[in-house]
Structure 1
Amino acid sequence: MLRERLIAYRKENRLTQAELANQIHVSRQTIPHWETGQSTPDIQSLVFLCDLYNITIDELLDDKLVAMQAKAILKQSRQLALGIGIAIMAAYASLLSSRWLLFTYAMMLTTAFSTIGVMLCLTLIKITKPFRLSTCQSLIHYLITGQIPVGRRPKISGQQLLFLAGLGICLGLVLTFSPGIAYLGWTI
């Protein structure tokens, strides 16, 4: 519903009703009227809102189409998420299997399952891209409830992205070397 989206975008951008009214050149009373459904924004105000929130008019107005698309691919998205979880477990199991299998075969299995997991992740990202699920929390919410969270999530800065990549690398190394040292007798 438009009024819910107006509220969500305003709150997401941390604006009060008065601040928003000032930025898009309407009276202070206009914003509460829009947010309660007593009136709707005119086209000029919609353009100002979209520019301010960095969204398209379709994103602001057309929530039913996005919801229908999300419902249509929900089952496929859930299957991909399950596949990703299975690929992660299989990759670690194949790493541990080097205790019983020839090391080369175990590493080939680990590589194969890791590659499958990455491909499934990329596919999930591609099919959910129109829904702007830019955080793990919004993706999990979609997979559990089937609903797209209202509003657009803030973009991740370059520094935050580097931090997350570094954290992911460290976590991957710990998850890889811990079983190797504990169960496979690896030494550093």
Structure 2
Amino acid sequence: MTADLASAAGTLELAPALSRPDLLAEPVTAALKALPDDVAASCAVAAIDPDLADTAAFCEAYGSPLEASANCVVVAGSRSGEQRFGACVVLATTRADVNGVVRKRLDVRKASFAPMDTAVELTGMAYGGITPFGVPAGWPVLVDAAVVAAPAVVVGSGIRGSKLVVPGSVLGQLPGAESLEGLGR
């Protein structure tokens, strides 16, 4: 693993992500397998205490810098009765501009965070572990430009018992990914 991944990981013991499918939700494993081999090989995973999956607790317990963590949230809005969903990825030091950037991109009158049960059902991932890897096909994956520019970021793995550590640029290469300036505020 690269020095960039190690600095983001803190005290985590990293392993190549695809070598540990037991630490990944099924849609995440499928998404990693669909990436070019060299891109997938740049992604690492580490087991964590599921009770420490929330960003602040995770960073404190594992010595991972808050500025190297990225949060993924599922957003929803509707237009003419059609429900629209997307995933937003921003650095943990910022918040997604849901009613500005996201609302405009989804072309909805009002955008909001999807209810927990809806997000879990649609993604096939655990709440607190949702990641942009493996979100439903056709969803836009809106990634703040600062995340894409980061040498490495810690993101969810689809389950609460592990974290992925990946070059930020990988998130910009996911299906449906769009790098947006000002998404994180």
| TM tier relative to shorter chain | under 0.3
TM-score, normalised relative to structure 1: 0.23
User: TM-score under structure 2 normalisation?
Assistant: 0.23
Higher relative contact order (CA 8 A, sep 6+): 2
Work out which of the two has the higher radius of gyration on C-alpha atoms and give 1 or 2: 1
More strand by proportion, 1 or 2?
2
